[in-house]
Every structure is written in C-alpha cells, then in structure tokens.
Amino acid sequence: MKPIERLELFLKSEGITITACEEKCGFSLGTLRKAISQKRALKTDSIIKIIEGYPKFDTDWFLMGKGIMIKSVNPSNVLEDFIEQFINQKYGETIKGFEQKIEALEDELKFKSFMLEEFDGELIKEIKSLLKIYKKNK
C-alpha cells in the first residue's frame, strides 16, 4: 500500500473529507483528490503539511506502513495540550501585548545603554581635559 492510499484510509477512518483535508493542510481544492484518485506519490512538502495538520496520524504508518495508524495518546500530553490551548485562547492577546512591550523595552534599554556608553566616553574626555587645565594652573 502506498502512502497516498494510507492517507485515504486515515481520512475515511476519521470521517474527514478530502476537501476538509485539503483546506486544513493548505492545498488547492482538488489537488489531493486528484492525487488519491490517480494513486500519485506525494511531494515532501505535501507530506509535511499533512503531518503538521494531523499530528495524531502516525508518520511511520503513513510513510512506511509500519506500526499503527493513530499514535498512542499519552494522557500527560493531552493535558499539556489542553492547558496550552486554554491559555492561548484566554490570554493569547494579553501575552502578545506583553511580548511586544518587552521587545519595546529591550530596544529602549539597548538605546539607553548605547547613549550611556557615549556619554561616559564624553564625560571621561571632559574630566581629562579639566585635569589638564587644573594641572596647568597649579
């Protein structure tokens, strides 16, 4: 069985239409349907899109027919994924706002550090100049 045939089997077993898969993975409509109907090999970038779109689809089974179609579910990963999704949905915009503020503050800090270095250099020159004048007048 070819990967394209295993993809078709996966989609059927999950109740996913080919059109829904094309949309989810960013394919032009009809592209995947044509590949499936003609049993054509998938390009690497297409395989990557499918794997990214359906993370529970076992890649070993998809590519080589080894193992099982659906990855085993690790309960801790499910909980972690749920928590991450919840946080992103509830606080995503706030987090983005903080990240942008932090970035702006880091830029401001870099600028002020640069200005301070420049000022320190000018200040040292001024002090040396004043010391020369002081020594001459002594």
pLDDT in tens, 105-134: 999 999 988 888 888 778 888 888 888 888
Same domain, 8 and 37: yes
* Number of domains into which the chain is organized: 2
pLDDT digits over 43-101, tens only? 999 999 999 999 889 999 999 999 989 887 666 677 787 888 888 888 888 888 899 99
| Domain co-membership, 126 together with 106 | yes
pTM confidence score: 0.52
Range of the domain at 91: 73-138
Please give the DSSP secondary-structure letter assigned to residue 72.
P
d(CA 52, CA 24) in angstroms, rounded, equals 10
Domain end among 17, 33, 64: 64
**pLDDT tens column, 14-45:** 999 999 999 999 999 999 999 999 999 999 99
DSSP H stretches of helix in the chain: 3-14, 18-25, 31-38, 44-53, 59-64, 75-137
**One domain for residues 59 and 81:** no
Q: What is the pLDDT of residue 62?
A: 93
**What SS3 state is found at 43?**
coil
